[in-house]
Amino acid sequence: MNTLFNDAPGPQEAAPSAFIIDGTQANFMEEVIEASREMPVLVDFWATWCGPCKTLTPALERVINAQKGRVRLVKIDVDQNRELVAQLSRMGLPMQSVPTVVAFWQGQIADTFSGALPESEIKRFVEALLKIAGSSAPGEALITEAKALLDQGQPEQAAQYFAAALQEAKDKPEAWGGLVRAFLAIGEEHQAEQVLAQVPESIAEHAEVTGARAALTLAQEGRKAQAAMAGLESRLAANPDDHEARYDLATALNATGARAEAAAALLEIVKRDRAWNEDGARMQLLKFFEAWGMDDPATMTARRKLSTLLFS
């Protein structure tokens, strides 16, 4: 079986899109200032007519790629962002020439240099920046960024960040679980299975991992149930007490992302016949909760309704 880091999108392969981006006045606050609160950010101010920039920018990209996501690079074309450059100059940022590289950490300027430095000097510059940021920051920052990307509907990039965090350290259940969920969002169930097979035994029962495992199981069940969704709805219309059809419909609804509707279907079974299938509806609902996460709004709402049914 291929290993995770052969099959998963590796940071060196995907870094140009995941860890190296083009900056503008519109995204400067988000991609530089706010992002630097999670990981160090280098900003490369360049211009198309600048000869030294043609040497410096590729060298910066190679150094950033080698860091596997521990540092972000934002490239800003000064001619396309004159107002931003003027604002930064008024704030005291040295912008007299290009190329100029500015390092940000925790929303503040941490260091800067101008001119086309040799690649060895760029490496030392980045290493010094990482020391300022602290040795414990990179892995956690990657996971935080990955979760945000996943929430924003960017699972491909999230997978790159989760994989990079695991290259920092293998004992991060949030990264393992997140990588599984990212692959599921992409539709790569086989990749998700391979990731779960490589989780260290010491964290295999962590809530982040078991939740991801439950999400994979539900995705597989849901894919099968989705094909029969129309028939399931017809069966329920003919017989509202067809609990098997309602159970399968809940699984299919969950697979489509309709969490509230999926929970409602299972709650209806519990309401009509608590003992059906050896309490199977309640058990499936608990599996949903595990897959969604205990702090998910759908989980909290359905859990309150379940408690009302069980204790009324």
* Mean confidence (pLDDT) of the chain: 86
pLDDT in tens, 150-164: 988 999 999 998 998
Residue type, 59: A
For 175, other C-beta atoms within 10 Å of its C-beta total 27
What is the secondary structure of 199-260 as a DSSP string? Answer: S-GGGTTSHHHHHHHHHHHHHHHHHHHHTTHHHHHHHHHH-TT-HHHHHHHHHHHHHTT-HH
Which has more confidence, 168 or 155? 155
Cα 218 to Cα 210: distance, rounded to the nearest angstrom: 12
Mean pLDDT of 103-115: 89
Task: Give yes or no for a contact between 284 and 251, defined as CB atoms under 8 angstroms apart.
Answer: yes
pLDDT of residue 67: 84
Confidence of residue 64 (pLDDT cuts 50, 70, 90): very high
- Give the range among 16-25, 115-124, 258-267, 296-305 with minimum mean pLDDT: 16-25
pLDDT of residue 136: 46
**pLDDT at position 91 over 80:** no
**pLDDT at position 8 over 50:** no
Confidence of residue 277 (pLDDT cuts 50, 70, 90): very high
Against a cut of 0.95, is the pTM above it? no
Task: Give yes or no for a contact between 68 and 164, defined as CB atoms under 8 angstroms apart.
Answer: yes
Helices (H), 67-169: 82-90, 119-133, 137-151, 155-168
**pLDDT at position 68 over 50:** yes
Residue showing tokens 């005291």: 92
Structure tokens at 163: 């994989």
The CATH class of 4-136 is alpha beta
Catalytic residue among 8, 32, 39, 50: 50
Distances (CA, A) of 154 to 158, 180, 183, 293: 6, 14, 11, 19
Q: Which of 238, 239, 236 is nearest to 250 (CA)?
A: 236
Could you say which of 2.102.10.10, 3.30.70.360, 3.40.50.300, 1.25.40.10 is the CATH number of the domain covering 224-311?
1.25.40.10
Domain boundaries, the chain: 4-136, 224-311
Mean pLDDT of 58-63: 94
Among 48-57, 80-89, 223-232, which range has the highest average pLDDT? 48-57
**pLDDT at position 294 over 70:** yes
Residue 145's Cβ-count burial label (10 Å; 0-12, 13-18, 19+) is: buried
pLDDT of residue 15: 38
Active site (annotated) includes residue 72? no
- Give the range among 19-33, 82-96, 174-188, 234-248 with minimum mean pLDDT: 82-96
Structure tokens at 4: 């995770």
pLDDT of residue 307: 87
Sign of CA dihedral 167, 172, 178, 180: positive
pLDDT of residue 2: 37
Confidence of residue 111 (pLDDT cuts 50, 70, 90): confident
pLDDT of residue 227: 73
Active site (annotated) includes residue 108? no
Confidence of residue 312 (pLDDT cuts 50, 70, 90): low
Catalytic residue among 14, 43, 53, 199: 53
